[in-house]
Amino acid sequence: MPKQNKLGVYIHWPFCVSKCPYCDFNSHVEKDIDVEQWEFAYLSELRWMADIYRQKTQYPSVLHTVFFGGGTPSLMPVSIVERILETIEELFILHPKIEVTVEANPSSSELDNLSAFKSIGVNRISFGAQSLNTKTLNFLGRAHDTRDIYKALDVAFGLFNQVSADFIYGIPGQNIGSWEDELSKIIKFDLTHISAYQLTIEPGTQFYSRSKKGEKLTCDDDTIADLYDLTTNVLSSHGYEIYEISNYARLNSQCQHNLLYWNAQDWLGIGPGAHGRFTMTENRRWHSQTRRSPDGWLSSVQKEQHGIEIQNEDYISDFAKEIIVMGLRLTSGIELPDWLIGKSDFINLNWLDEFEKDGFITFNKNHIRVTKNGRLHLNSIVSKLLN
């Protein structure tokens, strides 16, 4: 039996106030929901998933993280969140330092829930701030303004020790000066965690349709690279360690739930469109994916106790791909398992040598890491390593 991984639970709330033009997440605008119906569905699927985990791993179910994502989970009725956390306590052994995160938007309508979330066990909040520039917020279709961000963070710091915020850069017309000015304002918040993402145009989004018509919606590649270097240099100089290609944290403030993904650990995915993965044997993973449609998922759970659309045991090649794709995002790198070392079936060893010579990666025994120079080429590196 392999060494037991850390275990987390991801809860997906699929509803938002509005759909942002860059967003490719499984999110929908819905004004009215049946609270009792949705509560029943979450608890049903949670129990079913917990049972599957116990059957297939035979591990004691020690839970390290819970993450409410979306959509906008801070819009969830507090009663549903409370019942989910109570049921989790019944089903799992809670780690003494369990991390419980809720994603939130910094709008006034959601701030009233923060105190209630704290009282039922949430100990980490992550805001989708995205920008401190009014024009950028409008461009991104955000429903809040900069004043909302300042107010939300002020409320959050009065309740939580761990407060994170997401920001996006690479907006058309953005330059070193404007982004450096924004970073200086971000630093003054003294957040424990910062996620800084490059704007990307994803298929299925409004931005994708507009870009296909010729509209320029991001900076050019050279400017993006300069902005990335600036982000890392500025945040590092103010005590934020870059631990993943787009994530920066104060000491002991890394997002433990996301580390499960990047380290190919275990998690159960609950709710519409959620994915889950956990290790059964040394090199075999169980994978689940629920129905994306909220109505479809709800209907399936009512009939089957779960909304899983796909469940299978990943092939060893799928597990190898997951380890490389996710793990190389970490600046600390990853320890490759013995079954993956030197296997040309899974890793292109010629490219491995080439990237090491170019200074894009370091490789020592079974530890592999992308260097600072390599981070700008990460997608290409991963693609070529995986043939």
Would you list the domain boundaries of the chain?
7-260, 316-387
Instruction: Tell whether the model's pLDDT for residue 110 goes beyond 70.
Output: yes
Q: Across all residues in the chain, what is the average pLDDT? A: 94
d(CA 318, CA 313) in angstroms, rounded, equals 10
d(CA 104, CA 113) in angstroms, rounded, equals 10
Q: Length of the chain, please? A: 387
Domain made up of 316-387: CATH architecture:
Orthogonal Bundle (1.10)
130 — phi, psi (to 5°)? 75, -35
Beta-sheet strands, E only, within 160-283: 162-169, 193-198, 241-244, 247-249, 266-270, 275-281
Strand partners, 249: 193, 241
CB 247 within 8 A of CB 195: yes
- Give CA 95 to chain center in angstroms: 21
pTM over cut 0.75:
yes
CATH numeric code, 7-260: 3.20.20.70
Strand partners, 268: 9
HSE (side-chain half, CA atoms, 13 Å) at 286 = 17
Same fold, 7-260 and 316-387: no
Q: Please give the pLDDT value at position 109.
A: 65
Per-residue model confidence as pLDDT tens digits over 206-241: 999 999 999 999 999 999 999 999 999 999 999 999
Of 186, 173, 172, the closest CA to residue 234 belongs to 186
Per-residue model confidence as pLDDT tens digits over 293-329: 999 999 999 999 999 999 999 888 899 999 999 999 9
Per-residue model confidence as pLDDT tens digits over 117-158: 999 999 999 999 999 999 999 999 999 999 999 999 999 999
